[in-house]
């Protein structure tokens, strides 16, 4: 009996994802900070009807505005793209300013990442323009994809926006009465991406336990809230080869999100030296390091270990922060080592630069640091993480040991998958072609597995009927 099953890439995942986002695949290229997920990357993806998010984290408001302007000029109005909305727990005013920009420019999609708690700025973006359809359903004007790794955070995105935040937004005139009324009937996110062992911010969750957990949680909350529609649940982390993509869909993912592998493409907004280092990486060449944006609370990011000492140096700074109360309390030899090997300049110079930034961006934070020596110590150490990003993006060879390169084992898996092909050299890798190849070969993997099951089922049926294969 011939095998009848044939899976095509557009059949993988949830079909409503394709319709709601106007894309060809249940696939997205996630944002990478400092414009590594560049305008060029998003343009190339959107022109092929593949969803991508511009990496606005760490960019100035002017840089984000310029990126949005170019995307809107060069793409049709219905093109599938969005902007990263990175939680800023240190300076909430920057979240509000970003929302003002997004709403003012009519940006319809965001990727909400690194959130610990829902914020008013995020709720305001979600509710803006929400309306009731003729059949009574609530239709969101703005779409939110949330990247989460913890159930308690995910639950906030499956639920409607917190009533207290909605009430405060209404009282301040930042949402309309209709938007406030509809809030209880609209989950905070359309799509929740369960982030497993990924590059950058990650709790190194195991995808095969995280995704089922998120699906169960989503179903429980949906049953309790009885909202129309369903929040889609996807997966990110470790998706560097077709077999991994196929396994994610087999496990029930509504969509997949790639990250690390897109950093090693022509369009990625980082240096050629970083791309050379990533293209040489294997699956074990990654490590955990403190996260610069959440340094004081001990959050972690996953980074490239091979060829750089950043992970070890970042961890040492964190340990020193935990055990010392001020920059003045550091032993003199330790301070000199940090200045010469880590910073490449004096602590006084680092503080002067840091002070200038906070004087303009968050004067209250600066005043608190100048009154609290330990807070000042944290700000000085956090400068190293900004510096390590900066020199990597610039490809400064003299600073290679300090490069901070967010990436994970998926990068090594992709290199192994592409070895011996025309895409082995990253200079031949284009982000849209990588997506096409991943999804196409994942569909082939899916077809092969299902076909094997069909053959086995047919064989057992014949045997049960008295035949022999």
User: Is 430 contained in some domain?
Assistant: no
261/314 same-domain check: no
Is there a single domain that holds both residue 201 and residue 113?
A: yes
Instruction: Please give the pLDDT value at position 2.
Output: 56
Residues 346 and 237 in one domain: no
Considering the domain boundaries, does residue 170 fall inside one?
yes
Could you give phi then psi for residue 131, rounded to 5 degrees? -145, 165
Pairwise CA distance, residues 403 & 243, whole Å = 31
Q: What is the pLDDT of residue 378?
A: 95
Enclosing domain of residue 107: 9-270
CA 139-142-143 angle, 5° bins: 90
Q: Model confidence over 95-136: pLDDT tens digits?
A: 999 999 999 999 999 999 989 899 999 999 999 999 998 887
Tell me which H or E stretch contains 119.
none
How many other CB atoms sit within 10 Å of the CB of residue 382?
22
* 169 and 229 both lie in a single domain: yes
144 forms beta bridges with 110
CB contact at 8 A, 280 and 292: no
323 with 386, same domain: the answer is yes
For residue 469, the model assigns a pLDDT of 45
**Under 8 Å between Cβ of 261 and 410:** yes
CA angle 182, 187, 193 (to 5 degrees): 155
Please enumerate in sequence order all residues whose Cβ is within 8 A of that of 447, keeping only pairs 6 or more positions apart, or say none. Answer: 5, 6, 7
Q: Which three-class secondary structure string do you get for 187-205?
A: CCCCEEEEECCCCEECCCC
Q: Mark whether 76 and 19 lie in a shared domain.
A: yes
* Total structural domains within the chain: 2
Of 404, 424, 445, the last residue of a domain is 404
Q: Is residue 239 part of a domain?
A: yes
Q: E strands, 170-279, where?
A: 191-195, 200-201, 232-236, 256-258
In a domain, 280, yes or no: no
Q: What is the model's pLDDT at position 303?
A: 95
Residues 33, 175 share a domain: yes
Residue 189 burial (10 A CB sphere; 0-12, 13-18, 19+): buried
In-domain check, residue 281: no
* pLDDT, position 124: 98
Q: Are residues 110 and 39 in the same domain?
A: yes
pTM for the model? 0.93
User: What is the distance, to the nearest Å, from the Cα of residue 10 to the centroid of all Cα atoms in its chain?
Assistant: 23
Asked if residue 212 and residue 337 are part of one domain, the reply reads: no
Give domain status of residue 204, yes or no.
Answer: yes
- Looking at residue 102, what is its pLDDT? 98
Which ranges of the chain have pLDDT less than 50?
1, 469
Do 259 and 369 lie in one domain? The reply is no
**316 and 184, same domain (yes or no):** no
């Amino acid at each position: 009996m011939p095998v009848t099953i044939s899976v095509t890439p557009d059949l993988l995942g949830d079909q409503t994802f394709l319709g709601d986002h106007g894309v060809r695949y249940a696939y997205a290229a996630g944002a990478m900070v400092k414009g590594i997920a560049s305008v060029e990357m998003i343009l190339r993806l959107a022109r092929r009807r593949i969803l991508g998010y511009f990496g606005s984290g760490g960019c100035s408001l002017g840089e984000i505005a310029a990126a949005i302007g170019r995307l809107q000029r060069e793409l049709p109005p219905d093109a599938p793209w969005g902007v990263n909305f990175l939680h800023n727990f240190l300076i909430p005013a920057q979240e509000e300013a970003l929302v003002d920009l997004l709403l003012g420019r009519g940006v319809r999609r965001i990727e909400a990442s690194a959130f610990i708690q829902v914020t008013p700025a995020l709720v305001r973006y979600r509710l803006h323009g929400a309306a009731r359809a003729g059949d009574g359903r609530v239709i969101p004007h703005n779409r939110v994809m949330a990247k989460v790794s913890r159930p308690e955070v995910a639950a906030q995105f499956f639920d409607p926006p917190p009533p207290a935040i909605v009430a405060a937004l209404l009282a301040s005139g930042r949402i309309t009465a209709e938007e406030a009324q509809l809030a209880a009937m609209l989950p905070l996110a359309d799509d929740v991406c369960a982030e497993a062992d990924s590059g950058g911010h990650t709790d190194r969750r195991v995808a095969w336990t995280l995704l089922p957990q998120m699906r169960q949680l989503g179903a429980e909350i949906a049953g309790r809230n009885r909202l129309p529609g369903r929040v889609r649940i996807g997966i990110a982390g470790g998706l560097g080869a077709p077999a991994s993509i196929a396994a994610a869909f087999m496990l029930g993912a509504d969509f997949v999100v790639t990250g690390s592998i897109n950093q090693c493409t022509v369009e990625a907004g980082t240096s050629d030296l970083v791309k050379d280092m990533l293209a040489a990486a294997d699956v074990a060449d990654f490590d955990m390091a403190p996260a610069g944006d959440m340094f004081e609370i001990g959050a972690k990011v996953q980074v490239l270990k091979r060829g750089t000492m950043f992970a070890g140096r970042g961890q040492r700074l964190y340990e020193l922060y935990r055990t010392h109360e001020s920059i003045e309390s550091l032993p003199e030899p330790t301070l000199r080592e940090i200045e010469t090997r880590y910073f490449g300049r004096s602590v006084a110079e680092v503080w002067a630069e840091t002070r200038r930034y906070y004087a303009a961006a968050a004067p209250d934070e600066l005043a608190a640091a100048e009154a609290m020596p330990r807070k000042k110590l944290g700000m000085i150490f956090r400068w190293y993480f900004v510096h390590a990003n900066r020199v990597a993006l610039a490809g400064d060879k003299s600073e290679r040991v300090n490069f901070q390169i967010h990436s994970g084992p998926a990068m090594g898996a992709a290199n192994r998958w592409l070895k011996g092909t025309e895409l082995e050299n990253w200079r031949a890798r284009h982000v849209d072609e990588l997506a096409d190849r991943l999804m196409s070969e994942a569909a082939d993997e899916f077809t092969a597995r299902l076909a094997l099951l069909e053959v086995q089922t047919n064989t057992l049926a014949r045997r049960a009927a008295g035949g022999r294969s």
